[in-house]
Amino acid sequence: MFDNLSDRLAGVLDRLTGRGALSEEDVDAAVREVRRALLEADVSLEVARAFVDHVKQRAVGVDVIKSVTPGQMVVKIVHDELVNTLGADARPIDLNAPAPVPIMMVGLQGSGKTTTTAKLAKRLTERDNRKVLMASLDTRRPAAMEQLAVLGKQVNVETLPIVDGQTPPQIAARALQAARLGGYDVVLLDTAGRITLDEELMTEAADVKQAANPHEILLVLDANTGQNALAQVKAFDEALGLTGLVLTKLDGTAKGGVVCAIARERPVPLLFVGVGEGIDDLRPFHAAEFAEALVD
C-alpha cells in the first residue's frame, strides 16, 4: 500500500537518521524532497504545501529528546503530521437502527462497488454476526445483477431474486419488504453506476434514497482516479448526503495520496479501504497504520 510514496519517504528520512546534528538547510532540503514525494503520490499541491510547512515549523529548532537523534525526531514529526493530515481513524459502520438497516452503496462504474458490496456483506456476516440481504439495483449494466448473485454465493450471503421490469426504487422497496419478512438485519443496496458523473445518475440515486431511506450512504471510490475522486465525493455528497467512503484498489498502481486530500477537503469519513482482490481484503481505515506504512 502506497509503495511509491513509502519508498520515496524512506529514502529521504533514511538520509536524515544517518546524520548527527541537523541544520535548517538540512531540514529545508528534506522537506523539499518530502513535498516532491507527496506530489508524485497524487497529493494535491495545497495539501502537500501545508504538510511540509507544518513539518518544517516543528522540525526547525526542535529540542532533541535524550537518546534520540535529530533525524529520528524529524521522522517522528513527519509521522505525526501524516496522522494529522489523514484525519481520524475509521468509525464503525453504523447499524444502530431498526432492522432491517438499509445501506446504500453508490459510485461510478468500475469503482469496484459491486465487489465491495459483497466484501462488506461478508464482513458484516462474519464479524458482526448480522443476517444480510444484498440487492442489485443496477438495471443498466449487462449482467450486473447476475454478478452480485455469483458473489453472494461466494460469500454465503443471500441476494434478492431478480424480477425483470422493475425500476431501481421499486427493487429497493422490494428488498426492504423481503428483508422484513425474512428477518434480516441489514440490506445492502448496490446501485447503478455510470462511466462519468451525470444528472441521470444522481436523479436515480436520489429516487432510491427516497424509496429506501438508507441509514448509511457509502461512496465507493477507485484510488486510481487520483484527484478526480474529490469531484466525485463533492457531487455525491451534495446530491445524497454521504455518510462514509470506501477507497478501493490501493494494492495496485494507485498512488494513494488522494486519501490525504479527501481527509483535508471533504468532511466525509473514510470507513474502509480495499487492499486486494481477495474477498477478505476490505479493512477499516486507520490513520496511524497508514502513516506507519509510509515512514517505516
- Which triple of cell numbers denotes residue 37? 514525494
Using CA atoms, how far apart are residues 195 and 236, in angstroms rounded to an integer? Answer: 14
Indicate whether 144 and 190 sit together in one domain.
Answer: yes
Residues with Cβ within 8 Å of residue 202, at least 6 apart in sequence? 235, 236, 239, 240
Q: What local confidence, expressed as pLDDT, does residue 65 receive?
A: 44
Tell me what the mean pLDDT of segment 37-50 comes to. 79
Closest by CA to 108, choosing from 232, 244, 279, 208, is 232
Per this entry, what is the length of the chain?
Answer: 296
CB 232, CB 221: distance < 8 Å: yes
Indicate whether 227 and 134 sit together in one domain.
Answer: yes
CATH number at residue 36: 1.20.120.140
CB 133, CB 161: distance < 8 Å: no
How many Cβ atoms from other residues are within 10 Å of residue 283's Cβ?
17
Confidence class of residue 102 from pLDDT cuts 50, 70 and 90? Answer: very high
At which residue does the C-alpha cell 434478492 appear? 160
Q: Is residue 129 part of a domain?
A: yes
Look at 293 and 261; give whichever has higher pLDDT: 261
Indicate whether 151 and 174 sit together in one domain.
Answer: yes
- Which triple of cell numbers denotes residue 197? 458523473
User: Per DSSP, what are the bridge partners of residue 244?
Assistant: 218
Q: Is residue 93 part of a domain?
A: no
Given a cut of 90, whether residue 137 has pLDDT beyond it is yes
Given a cut of 80, whether residue 267 has pLDDT beyond it is no
Q: What local confidence, expressed as pLDDT, does residue 46 receive?
A: 81
CB 110, CB 248: distance < 8 Å: no
DSSP helix/strand/coil, 72: helix
Helix axes 258-265, 228-240, angle to 10 degrees: 40
Sheet with 132-136, side-by-side order of all strands: 158-159, 132-136, 186-190, 101-106, 216-222, 244-248, 270-274, 282-284
- Which triple of cell numbers denotes residue 289? 497504520
Q: How many domains does the chain have?
A: 2
**Amino acid, res. 10:** A
Q: What local confidence, expressed as pLDDT, does residue 280 receive?
A: 83
How many Cβ atoms from other residues are within 10 Å of residue 284's Cβ?
15
Confidence class of residue 256 from pLDDT cuts 50, 70 and 90? Answer: low
Range of the domain at 164: 101-285
Q: What local confidence, expressed as pLDDT, does residue 66 receive?
A: 43
Indicate whether 260 and 131 sit together in one domain.
Answer: yes
Q: Is residue 199 part of a domain?
A: yes
Question: What is the pTM (predicted TM-score) of this model?
Answer: 0.84
